Amino acid sequence: MTTKEYTRCLIVGSGPAGYTAAIYAGRANLKPIQYCGPQTGGQLTQTTEVENFPGYPQGVDGNQMMLDLREQAQRFGADIRDGEIVKADFSRKPYLLITDNGTEIETETIIVATGASAKYLGLSDEQKYAGQGVSACATCDGFFYRKKVVAVVGGGDTACEEATYLAGLCSKVYMIVRKPYLRASDVMKKRVEENEKIEILYEHNTLGLYGENGVEGAHLVKRLGETDEQRYDLPLDGFFLAIGHTPNTSVFKAWLDCDNVGYIRTQAGTPKTNIEGVFAAGDCADSVYRQAVVAAGSGCMAALEAERYLAEHNK
Ligand code: NDP
């Protein structure tokens, strides 16, 4: 039998945006229901130290921070659940959401805070060697590569952070960077450039991976398409992707205005989407800043807007 529920406020996602929305909605007595999504705690659970969230002068472990936010939301009555929203119907009111175990939830307001997921290069070898040398999370899988040789693809802050982390475990870390420079912030750049274990391979692309039982190396090309193009194989034990993210908005795309990548479009300076009572917060609606503190702030805004909407509609 299908379980049917009703709530005034449903929050989807459990990163800094989702939990902050739950804290505010809980304190406003909206009794929010929150579905955590496939990765409880979101992307910060895959990072090590968060050094730039205000209020933690010594930094804070990403996992711990998310556990603290969860506890804080629960303290104010948020009903936090494991599971995913797999279907949405915004053509009717209350809005209808269906969970992965078939529960139907009617809600007056919804806060979409589904975050973003790591991107892959699109090589068939990434699938072939998934869990056998290919990873998009150094802090999750780095442990398996102690004293081994690995590569990190990408030249942004994430790639630098992952490379630095891996350098603490591995004997050698290559960074495979397609441009002749790193895109990362100066402090992160300096950190990798000064690390003896890290070697940056500029103007390099990956053509494929090889290995009998798991990754044994990568087929690389330097200066692809140029007259001095050079192809060679680089022996490796692990291959880590750090090339950016895709917003997790597929469930809502049919209803909500999104940009061409899939980030939800909100009305300038607000978390309001094109559908009243539906708000977006955090990385699923932010292709520019993508910071935990920004996500938390937008989660707060979404909850305040949900509260206002409910009051205006006498719900
Ligand atoms: P970015 O988009 O900043 O960087 C992605 C990197 O991957 C770029 O070097 C890009 O190359 C490269 N790349 C993308 N696609 C490919 C491809 N197909 N093949 C090869 N290389 C590719 O993403 P990040 O995840 O690094 O950062 C996202 C945001 O999060 C940024 O604003 C960043 O500052 C922030 N951040 C902050 C941290 C902190 O403050 N502690 C930690 C991590 C992230 P190219 O430059 O050529 O486009």
pLDDT in tens, 123-174: 999 999 988 999 988 877 888 899 999 999 999 998 999 999 999 999 999 9
Ligand 1 contacts (CB < 6 A) are 52, 121, 153-159, 161, 178-179, 183, 185, 243-244, 290
- The answer to whether residue 137 is catalytic is yes
Ligand 1 midpoint to CA 182 (Å): 9
Closest CA to 130 of 51, 230, 229, 211: 211
- The answer to whether residue 160 is catalytic is no
Q: Decide if pLDDT at 246 tops 70.
A: yes
- Residue 314: the pLDDT is 92
Q: Decide if pLDDT at 71 tops 80.
A: yes
- Residue 96: the pLDDT is 98
The contacts of residue 130 (CB under 8 Å, 6+ apart) are none
The CA–CA distances, whole Å, from 142 to 138, 146, 172, 301 equal 5, 7, 12, 36
- Residue 1: the pLDDT is 77
- Read off the pLDDT band of 241 (50, 70, 90): very high
Ligand 1 midpoint to CA 2 (Å): 43
Q: Decide if pLDDT at 77 tops 90.
A: yes
Residue of 56, 157, 204 with the most ligand 1 atoms within 8 Å of its CB, for mutation: 157
- Residue 289: the pLDDT is 86
CA–CA separation, 142 and 124 (whole Å): 22
**What whole-number percentage of the chain has pLDDT above 90?**
89
Ligand 1 midpoint to CA 59 (Å): 22
The residue with tokens 């880590």 is 240
- The answer to whether residue 68 is catalytic is no
Q: Name residue 6's beta-bridge partners.
A: 106
- Residue 107: the pLDDT is 98
Indicate the SS3 state at residue 98.
strand
**Ligand 1 atom index nearest CA of 159:** 26
Distance between start and end Cα atoms, the chain: 28
Query: Using CA positions, which residue lies closest to atom 36 of ligand 1?
Result: 157
**Of these residues, 79, 137, 157, 233, which one is catalytic?**
137
- Residue 131: the pLDDT is 81
- Residue 48: the pLDDT is 67
Name all domains of the chain by residue range, CATH numbers in brackets.
Answer: 4-117+245-313 (3.50.50.60), 120-241 (3.50.50.60)
Is the pTM higher than 0.75? The answer reads yes
Ligand 1 midpoint to CA 212 (Å): 31
pLDDT digits (tens, 9 = 90+) for 256-305: 999 999 999 999 999 999 999 999 999 999 988 888 999 999 999 999 99
Tell me the average pLDDT across 206-231.
97
